[in-house]
Each structure stands twice: as structure tokens, then as C-alpha cells.
Amino acid sequence: MRLPAKLLSAIRSFHTAPRKAAGKEQCRALVLTGLLAVFLSGVPASTPAEAQTSIKVVVNDIPITSYDIDNRTRFLRLTSRGQAGRKQAVDQLIEEALKFQEAKRRNVTVPDAEVDRAFAGIASRAKLSPSKLSAALRQQGVNPITLKNRIRADIAWGRIVRADARGAINVSEQDVIDALGGREEDGSSAARAEIAEYNIQQILFVIPSKASKAYIAQRKREAEGFRGRFTGCDASAELAKGLRDVVVRPIIRRNERQLADSAEQISRTAVGKTTRPEKVEDGYELLAVCSKKSIRGASEESAKVRGELMNERGQQFSRQKLRDLKAGAMIEYR
């Protein structure tokens, strides 16, 4: 089967785009690579009957069945051009189970609608409808659910890692200089640009770990009400006094490159206002923009190196965290 020109273009444009540490970029890499292999392969694979499945691995209290392993093995063979096999499938499913368990423990949820949007976005970039992407996977013996499970796990895990990495991962100016090999940058060789610098205040509406869905929904409404009444950082502590379990953090200074995933929503927020409530590990978070100014940014080369270092350290942090979970897990092979 020949690869459609539009799909090939989507694959090429993806591989030449800048990489980010965010979970959605990792999902896109995984899926588009798999999609490429799906269309390159012309022989449909057979799907084993689920009725014949048996439990092969138990990760704490989550079973992994032979059907899960067979299905994931076929998927990995597609995405790796036959290089990955059953062992890699088992390892991946174990890690996925650990991610889901950690997300459940920390009350991190990924709604079906969000997974479906990500799936539809992947299909759209390849000039396909979601149903056609699903059909292409099924043609190769891969249940689309395995892809959606991977997307859901990566989104949830990305949120957990970002929450834990706040303040734990930092790249100093010296780190950037060292990575550049000690070269002094020439302002004429790399364009310098103005970037935004903000004074930001975090307001957290705390939610207990075992809170009910009704209470979580109530806290979201309270956070939205606070946002509607917010008039500026000087009055935030006073405004929070009449509310239960609301934490107002000290003001911090960050430029747009240090904000990572929050940069876009911060940039759309006026001074004296807050972002929309976002669910984080401990509750609902609002980020108040206390002030904003333009500063002279680092060169493009420095910015690129800084991003690469942040991405590398973020990946190391994620891998170590997953290794720690695996070391403390009860994994039974049958």
C-alpha cells in the first residue's frame, strides 16, 4: 500500500518541527510514527478473540492480559518497523499501569472527551477523520483503544511530572554557557528579541485527596467565583480570607520562557486578572498576573540550548520517577 501524499507531508512536517517536553508532543510522535507504519504495511493482521484471553501479569492490582500484550505487540511492531516485540510490549504495559495507578492515587483524571480530541487532532494532521484512523489501525489488527490508552496515560503522566518538577528542574545561565562550549555570543550572529517578564501569584483552592466529585465541582465553582471578583494581587489575600482552604502564594518573577506550559494562558491574561482555574495535584490553581514588562531576551541559540537542557532534564526526571514507582510495585508474572 502506497503512502498517501498528504499523510507523508504530515509526517515530514512533524519530524522537522521543534520538539517540546509536553506530553501531547510525545503522544503525537508515537501516533504519527505508528500511522506511518500502518499505511506502509499492506498485510492486515489478525486479532485474537478476547474470549481466549488470560491474565499474564498483575501490577499491584491491575491485570495485564494476553489480549493486551498481543494487541500492544502488534502496535509496537508497526511503530518500530518490526524492531520491537513482546518483551517491549509487556514492559510498556507495566509502565502504563503504574502511570494509571499513580494518576488515580493523586486524583489526576483525563476525561474521555480530552482523549478523543487528541485522537481527532492526530487524525486531522494526517488528513484523516477519526473513524478512518481507527479503521486503518483495525486493518492492521490493532484495536484503537490501545492508542487511546497510551494517549490517556501520557497526558496524565505529563501532568504528574510537571507538578512534581516545578522548582525541581532549573537551567542556570552557567548551564547554558557550559552547553555552548564556553563561547561568548555575538549579538550580530544571533538575533535578540524582546520577551515578556511577569510578576505572578499562585492562588490554590485546596482539595483533599479523597474528595468526592461533588466537592471537586464545588471547589471549581468557588475558584471561578474568586476569579470573577479578583481585582489585583494587592487585594488577593484579603479576598481569600473569607474562603476555606485557599492558599495565596508569594509573588514570583518569571519570563515567558520559564513559564513553559503556562506561557500561553499567562500571555492572554490581562494585568490584574487571573487565568482560568486549572486542576493540579492539590486542587484548583489560579495564576494572577500582577505586572508585566518587556525585557531583552537571550539569543536564539541560547534559547534553543536552554530548551534542550530543560527537555533533557525533564525526561530524566520522568524516567527516574517511573523507575521509583516500578521499584516499589508488586509485579507478578504468570
Question: What domains does the chain contain, in order, with CATH numbers?
Answer: 5-165 (1.10.4030.10), 193-297 (3.10.50.40)
- Asked if 191 and 197 touch (Cβ cutoff 8 Å), the reply is no
State residue 168's pLDDT score: 75
- Asked if 295 and 255 touch (Cβ cutoff 8 Å), the reply is yes
- Asked if 271 and 292 touch (Cβ cutoff 8 Å), the reply is yes
Q: Is the dihedral of CA 38, 40, 46, 48 positive or negative?
A: negative
Per DSSP, the three-state class of 267 is: helix
Q: Per DSSP, which regions of the chain are E strands? A: 55-59, 62-65, 194-206, 246-248, 252-255, 278-280, 283-296, 331-333
State residue 75's pLDDT score: 82
How many angstroms separate the CA atoms of 115 and 120, rounded? 9
DSSP string covering 77-126: HHHTTT---HHHHHHHHHHHHHHHHHHHHTT----HHHHHHHHHHHHHHT
Q: Which of 142, 154, 137 is nearest to 70 (CA)?
A: 142
pTM over 0.85: no
pLDDT along the chain (334 residues), means of 10: 38 35 42 40 41 82 89 81 80 91 90 90 84 85 87 90 79 71 45 74 92 93 94 92 91 82 87 93 92 71 77 86 89 88
Q: Per DSSP, which regions of 134-271 are E strands? A: 194-206, 246-248, 252-255
Q: Give one word for 91, left, alpha or beta, with left for phi > 0 and alpha for psi -120 to 50.
A: alpha
State residue 299's pLDDT score: 58
Extract the C-alpha cell encoding 294.
518587556
How many angstroms separate the CA atoms of 121 and 17, rounded? 16
State residue 227's pLDDT score: 94
- Asked if 251 and 199 touch (Cβ cutoff 8 Å), the reply is yes
State residue 316's pLDDT score: 87
